Amino acid sequence: MENSQLKDFVVDKIDDLKAKDIVTLDVAEKSSVTDFMVICSGTSKTHVKSIAEYVVVEAKKADLQPLGIEGRDASEWVLVDMGGVILHVMQDKARDFYQLEKLWS
């Protein structure tokens, strides 16, 4: 699967679980680690964790293996590394504090 298709896959899955304020950033020219970042918000720790875990489960069903998952325990900010796409699922407070969109745009 190409990275742009993977980005669309991730966006579709987080939209299924009603993630808020979905933003996709093309960082291919700025990062050697990934081509796209997808950033979204969840309404609570449970929602953040559920969104991230749903993406992981659906990716595995599609024979895509996430490279890593960080932050599940605290669920303030959960990162799912899919290689060409990195998903950041954050609570509003963490998202406002770190301002990833501003950092990477």
Tens digits of per-residue pLDDT, 25-65? 999 899 889 999 999 999 999 999 999 999 999 999 999 99
Inter-residue contact 41 to 92 (CB < 8 Å): yes
What is the rounded distance in angstroms from the CA atom of residue 11 to the CA atom of residue 29? 21
Listed in sequence order, the residues at least 6 apart from 105 whose beta carbon sits closer than 8 Å to its beta carbon are 25
The predicted pLDDT at position 1 comes to 76
Note the CATH number of domain 3-104: 3.30.460.10
What is the average pLDDT value for the chain, to the nearest integer? 94
What is the rounded distance in angstroms from the CA atom of residue 49 to the CA atom of residue 89? 8
What is the pLDDT confidence band of residue 67, given thresholds at 50, 70 and 90?
very high
What is the rounded distance in angstroms from the CA atom of residue 69 to the CA atom of residue 87? 9
Q: What residues does each domain of the chain span?
A: 3-104
What is the pLDDT confidence band of residue 11, given thresholds at 50, 70 and 90?
very high
- Residue 93 has a CB neighbour count (10 Å cut-off) of 11
What is the rounded distance in angstroms from the CA atom of residue 40 to the CA atom of residue 49? 12
pTM listed for this prediction: 0.94
Pairing of strands 68-70, 36-42: unpaired
DSSP annotation of 50 reads: H
The predicted pLDDT at position 43 comes to 96
Assign 77 to helix, strand or coil. strand
